[in-house]
Amino acid sequence: TDENLRASLKTIKEWREYADKTSIEQWITSYISPVLDTLGFGHQKNSKKQVNILILFSDVSKTQSMSLCYVLSPGEDMDCTLKGKHWAEKIIRSLREHNFQWGILTNGFRWRIYHTKEPNPYETYVEVDLEAILNAQEYFDFQIFYFFFRPDNFTISENKECKFDTYKEESTKTTEYIEKNLRVAIEREEEGGEGVLQTLCMGYLNALNQKTYSDEDRIHIYRCAILYLFRLLFLFYSTARDLLKVENIQAFKNIVQDSSKFHNERW
């Protein structure tokens, strides 16, 4: 419920404020474990030698293990690929050793979900920046974190799959459907209408308003239409994900202006 979600956000934020970052053991005890408790996981250390690996259970009864949480020190670079610190490789290897398919990698700030069956398992993951959510008190974003990092998503059903497998299958089907319809809209006429690419080409022809066009002109117009189409797709994608914020655009303008000024002063 909404009340439970807000209470969970408040609880996790309080644990974060008093978390002990002096060692990986203290970090787990004072913060990671309470977060997992709040989410509803049962958990226990894998072994005395691997204190940073927590075996996860569907509840506190700890009757059936289903996943693991690979914990890094706070602030550790999760994208590191140096020998001995390739964390993505380590969690995938740990998941396979325990015969789990889905697992969590976190440094406490950023939380990721990895899947061993991906074509590129080290580069494919879902990430939520919990630290940013707590700092900004973003309730909507916290709902996303709470939705993904729940025990029931990792629980294996009778058909040997979990909810993540269902989400992935539905996502794949939706992606294929969108790609198919987008391709139809771009490449050819459908039900008497004009394709997007054809419409863009006609727009260039109308704007140029020439009597004749050479083969070279047509090729150039076609390439320009494709470029314009990709720019539109980028714009739609960025807008849908709120990437083109006013402050970011202004910051980019300032960088361009400073670069131009530096270039003019130098030359």
Question: In this predicted model, what pLDDT tens digit does every residue of 6-25 receive, in sequence order?
Answer: 999 999 999 999 999 999 99
The torsion of the CA quartet 211, 217, 222, 223, rounded to 10 degrees, works out to -150
In terms of domains, do 133 and 222 share one? Answer: no
Domain presence at residue 177: no
* More confident of the two residues 245 and 229: 229
Q: SS3 for 104? A: strand
Region class of 236: left (phi > 0), else alpha (psi between -120 and 50), else beta: alpha
Q: Tokens for 169, please give them.
A: 């299958």
Cα gap 32→25, rounded to integer Å = 10
Identify the domain boundary among 156, 173, 200. 156
Q: SS3 for 246? A: helix
Q: Is 56 exposed, middle or buried (0-12, 13-18, 19+ CB in 10 A)?
A: buried
In terms of domains, do 204 and 147 share one? Answer: no
In terms of domains, do 149 and 57 share one? Answer: yes
Q: Is the pLDDT of residue 266 over 50?
A: no
CATH number (domain holding residue 21):
3.90.1570
Domain presence at residue 58: yes
H helix or E strand, kind and range, residue 222: helix 215-240
b/e sequence 20-38, b meaning 16+ C-beta within 10 Å: eeeebeebbebbbbbbbeb
In terms of domains, do 40 and 127 share one? Answer: yes
* More confident of the two residues 223 and 111: 111
User: Which pTM does this prediction carry?
Assistant: 0.70
Identify the domain boundary among 136, 156, 176. 156
Tokens 């203290």, residue located? 26
In terms of domains, do 140 and 210 share one? Answer: no
State how many domains the chain has: 2
Q: Taking CA 50 as the corner, what is the angle to CA 104 and CA 151, rounded to the nearest 5 degrees?
A: 30
In terms of domains, do 100 and 201 share one? Answer: no
* More confident of the two residues 123 and 138: 123
> pLDDT category, 207, cuts 50, 70, 90?
confident
In terms of domains, do 196 and 139 share one? Answer: no
* More confident of the two residues 120 and 191: 120
Domain presence at residue 183: no
Q: Is the pLDDT of residue 267 over 80?
A: no
Domain presence at residue 207: yes
Cβ pair 168, 185 in contact under 8 A: no
In terms of domains, do 123 and 235 share one? Answer: no
Identify the domain boundary among 132, 156, 180. 156
Tell me which DSSP letter residue 218 carries.
Answer: H
Q: Is 130 exposed, middle or buried (0-12, 13-18, 19+ CB in 10 A)?
A: buried
In terms of domains, do 85 and 134 share one? Answer: yes
Domain presence at residue 162: no
Q: SS3 for 114? A: strand
In terms of domains, do 202 and 105 share one? Answer: no
In terms of domains, do 134 and 216 share one? Answer: no
Confidence at residue 221, expressed as pLDDT on a 0 to 100 scale: 85
Cβ pair 103, 126 in contact under 8 A: no
Confidence at residue 232, expressed as pLDDT on a 0 to 100 scale: 79
In terms of domains, do 211 and 138 share one? Answer: no
Q: How far out from the chain centre does Cα 143 lie?
A: 15
Domain presence at residue 96: yes
* More confident of the two residues 126 and 202: 126
Question: In this predicted model, what pLDDT tens digit does every residue of 133-191 receive, in sequence order?
Answer: 999 888 888 999 999 999 999 988 888 888 888 888 887 887 777 777 767 766 665 55
Confidence at residue 158, expressed as pLDDT on a 0 to 100 scale: 81
**Residue range(s) defining the domain that contains residue 222:** 188-266
* More confident of the two residues 37 and 215: 37
Instruction: Please state the φ and ψ torsions of residue 166, each to the nearest 5 degrees.
Output: -65, -45
Q: Is 113 exposed, middle or buried (0-12, 13-18, 19+ CB in 10 A)?
A: buried
Query: From the CB of residue 111, how many other CB atoms can be counted at a distance below 10 Å?
Result: 24
Least confident of 82-86, 105-109, 181-185, 207-211: 181-185
